[in-house]
Structure 1
């Protein structure tokens, strides 16, 4: 019996993504079309459309589909933007961002994950995306972006990330500490940036963005 990935994809969109108030037609279309199973390790393919974080190696995980949908909707990409993703992981969200924008750049610290993601993106015929093997706290882009998607949590939003946003740009980021961690949209407005709270969630911290240990005497 062969697994019906197309049916699983449709079920994911209708039973997971839509009920979580993801209603942007462009986002729903890309999630209904891109084969998520192609970005998942062979042994986890049957779980590609489940409401789960899937392991990728190095302690990294693939975001749940609902979180990917909410992030994409919050960024409201129209097709003309240059996008930066911090944390490539499997490359699936990267593929969504590249499909919805003019061009995408993605950073991944682990060379093997970056290589695997490049191969998956190429197999989908996406030529407008670059995956760089780099640490976001060392990397220097030498340019700014219209939108940034941060796929790991941060204790506080790093100023260097905000500096990479063009005026009028926006960033999806999960910040804070459990139990008060929240997803937010940061907008780089003329009078400085402002943060709009979206929903509560929990994510593992981006390496280098964890809370500093508190010394107790």
Structure 2
């Protein structure tokens, strides 16, 4: 489903105040989309019931900020549909995964979620316009997030190593920087391009300490546009 679908089709039988009452829309998002789909962590549900997604999208798209779609935010990028974000974030849970790099951080929504989960977050964004929007959003709602503008394929070595490298979009391969910037027991999480333009959520871990061979697990199928600037050039082995 694309974000230009009619409001009626996206909202179903929900009352019209859904369009303007964003607090109520967040409740519907959690109760209708997340909880029935095995998003069970109470802290994550509370955060997503609170963070204002509508501040991360253009005014013209705010009516569908909480619908079950990827919402365009400009620069050929989207705010991922709530369920994809929730599934990937929940897949990232581990007591040891504290230091987090968000690659393609966009308008800051996912970075803010991780900050509220107690992570030390670096948000990397290649587009200065989106980075400015995301930094403003995080200044209001997650001021501990560190924002960096740079090429996604390079990561951000000055804050490495990271316990978690999270791709906020679809990748065709894992960039080589992960080998150098991921901690020995760290994890990589994101969406992996599959056939017919679709993607699968994935986790990847080193097979053993300091190994460059990673074990990848597919979690669920979905769609999220590819992150611009990340081409399939990895030398990783899976």
Q: 2:113 aligns with which of 82, 96, 108?
A: 96
Match for residue 173 of structure 2?
A: 156
Match for residue 31 of structure 1?
A: 48
Distance 1:204 1:39 in 2: 17
Look up the SS of the partner of 1:128 in the other structure.
coil
Kindly indicate whether the alpha-carbon contact (under 8 Å) linking 1:77 and 1:101 is maintained by their aligned counterparts in 2.
no
* Equivalences for residues 197-216 of structure 1 within 5 A: 197-210=218-231
Match for residue 215 of structure 2?
A: 194
Distance 1:11 1:60 in 2: 25
Structure 2 residue runs of 5 or longer lacking an equivalent are: 1-16, 234-238
TM-score (norm 2): 0.81
TM-score (norm 1): 0.88
Match for residue 129 of structure 1?
A: 145
Distance 2:226 2:208 in 1: 29
Match for residue 12 of structure 2?
A: none
Structure 1 residue runs of 5 or longer lacking an equivalent are: 213-217
RMSD: 2.1
Match for residue 183 of structure 1?
A: 201
Q: Which ranges of 4 or more aligned residues in structure 1 deviate by more than 6 Å?
A: none
Q: CA deviation at 1:147?
A: 1.0
Matched, 1:49 2:70: no
Kindly indicate whether the alpha-carbon contact (under 8 Å) linking 2:100 and 2:162 is maintained by their aligned counterparts in 1.
yes
Number of equivalenced pairs: 211
CA deviation profile, 1:82-118 (whole Å, cap 9, x unmatched)? 1100011121111101111331001111101101111
Look up the SS of the partner of 2:88 in the other structure.
helix
CA deviation profile, 1:186-216 (whole Å, cap 9, x unmatched)? 123525321111012222222233458xxxx
